[in-house]
Amino acid sequence: MVTSHSVAAARPQGVVSRRRGPVLERAILEAALDQLSTVGWNGLTMEGVAAGAQTGKAAVYRRWPSKEDLVAEALRAALPALGEAPDHGSVREDLYQLCRRVRAAMYSKPGFALRAVIHECDSETSERFQALIVTGVTDPSKRLLEEVIQRGIARGEVRPDAPGDLVYDVIPAIMMYRAKVCGSEWGDAEIAEMVDRVMVPLLRR
C-alpha cells in the first residue's frame, strides 16, 4: 500500500510540491517583499522573486507583466493598517501612541519595502506608486492625526487654528528624515522627545 509518508519519502530532496492559485500568488508577493526589504528596488529582479517563491519565472510574468506591477500588488496586499485613532485622554499621549504605531509600520517588512520604492525609484517610475502611497499611507495617517488634534481642540488642549496640512506633515516628515538620513531607529525616548518638544508646543493653546 502506498501511503502519503512513502510518497513524501520518495520525492527527491529539493523538489517542492506544485502550488497553484492564491497559494502561489501569496508566495510570489511575499518573495517580492523579501527582495525589496533586503536588496531594494534596484536589486529586485523577477528572476530573484521567482527563485524566492520557488517557482518558475513564467509563473511570475503570467500574473504581473512588469516589476512595477508586481511591486505595486505586493505593497497593496501587505501595507499594515494603522487602526483607529488612539484615545487616552490627552493629545500628548495620543500623539505618542500614534507615533509608536507609525514606527512599527515603518520598520515592518512592507514598511522597508515601501521606503525602498520611495527612495530608489526615478521620478517617472515613482509616479506609478503615487496613488498607492496616498491611499495606503498618507491619507490614513492624516486622518488619524486630524482626529487626535480635533479631540484635543474639543478638550481645550489645542488651538482651534492648529489643524492644517503642514502640521499633519510634521511627524511623518521628521520620522522619515531621521530614519533615512540619520539612521535613527526611533526608540520610545526619541518619540517622546519629538512629541514634547515639537508637536505639543506647535499645537498648544
Q: Tell me which fold the domain 91-203 belongs to.
A: Tetracycline Repressor; domain 2 (1.10.357)
Query: CB-based burial of residue 10 (10 Å sphere; 0-12 exposed, 13-18 middle, 19+ buried)?
Result: exposed
Q: Are 153 and 162 in contact (CB under 8 A)?
A: yes
- Dmax over CA atoms of the chain, in Å, equals 80
Q: Are 184 and 190 in contact (CB under 8 A)?
A: yes
Q: Is residue 94 over pLDDT 60? A: yes
Q: How many CA atoms lie within 13 A of 51 on its CB side?
A: 6
Q: Do domains 16-67 and 91-203 have the same CATH topology?
A: no
Q: Which residues pair with 190 in a beta bridge?
A: none
Q: Are 55 and 79 in contact (CB under 8 A)?
A: no
pLDDT digits (tens, 9 = 90+) for 40-59: 999 999 999 999 999 999 99
Q: Which amino acid is at 99?
A: C
Confidence of residue 182 (pLDDT cuts 50, 70, 90): confident
pLDDT digits (tens, 9 = 90+) for 127-149: 778 888 888 888 999 999 999 99
The second-level CATH assignment, the architecture, of 16-67 is Orthogonal Bundle (1.10)
Domain ranges of the chain: 16-67, 91-203
Q: Are 18 and 55 in contact (CB under 8 A)?
A: no
